[in-house]
Amino acid sequence: MDVASDPRIGLMRLLWWQEAIDKIYANKVIEHPAAQALSSVISENRISRGWLKRPVEARINDARREVTDIPETIEELEKYAEDTVSTLLYMTLQAGGIRSTAADHAASHAGKASGLLLLLRSLPYHASRNRHFCYIPTEVAAKHGLLVKEGGRFEIRLDSRESLCNAVFDMASVANVHLQKARSLAGTVPTEARSMLLPAVSAQVFLDTLSRVHFDVFDPRLARGVLGISPLSYQLKLKWSSWRGKY
């Protein structure tokens, strides 16, 4: 949606992919290089159509959201993170031939953590585009005095840096709980599946950086390197975790 010049064009592209996935599973020819490549991946790895369509449909629903339709609860955002990020991990496990309830359970929590943190990272971007909509649920915004009523509708104001940091802390804490739950399952996750859950390491890196800047998502240090640390440090963390069989 964010690379489209017009939101309607972005929505049309998502709808096109939704239809394209159905055509691929119906063995219909699509003259589109990315769709053809996707068709080969599906054929080789037997990816489930339901999982492949889920993130597309979640983004379609999000694209249709009105600017005044602010998520009410963190649970709504957790569901969005599950549909858009956790599902990608499910497909990665499936493509790797992993059939493990424990691995799927860990992927669910790791995806929710990553998805929530991704929404937090997007806050400065949305603010820079002067959008009325942001991914802070009303229950959290109201708790910290960020929810105001103007012209008969509720809006979230990001003017108070201290209040915003407190709201970000609350959401980051939920992400951290999911991350810890994912890691608590490591002992039951098959060894060959753990490298597929390395996105959990990225989530931890961003959480650590957020903590260092006191949960100020507008701190310029968050934009440095990779998730606030040097590319070399980031790669070493991934290598070290992979070598130890951790995530």
What structural domains and CATH numbers belong to the chain? Answer: 1-47 (no CATH), 65-244 (1.10.600.10)
For residues 72 and 146, what is the distance between their CA atoms, to the nearest angstrom? 13
Q: Look at the alpha carbons of 26, 27, 31, 32 in this order and tell me if their dihedral is positive or negative.
A: positive
In the prediction, which pLDDT does 131 show? 58
Tell which residue, 49, 106, 116, has the closest CA to residue 84: 116
- Residue 180 sits at the vertex; the CA angle it makes with 83 and 81, to the nearest 5 degrees, is 15
Contacts of 33 (CB under 8 A, 6+ apart): none
Per-residue pLDDT for 217 more than 80? yes
Mean pLDDT of the chain: 92
**132-161 average pLDDT score:** 85
The model's pLDDT over 3-58, given as tens digits with 9 standing for 90+, comes to: 777 888 989 999 999 999 999 999 998 999 999 999 999 999 889 999 999 999 99
The model's pLDDT over 102-111, given as tens digits with 9 standing for 90+, comes to: 999 999 999 9
Per-residue tokens: 124: 């400065």
Distances, alpha carbon 237 to alpha carbons 111, 114, 208, 234, in Å: 19, 17, 13, 5
Asked if 179 contacts 93 with a C-beta cutoff of 8 angstroms, the reply is: no
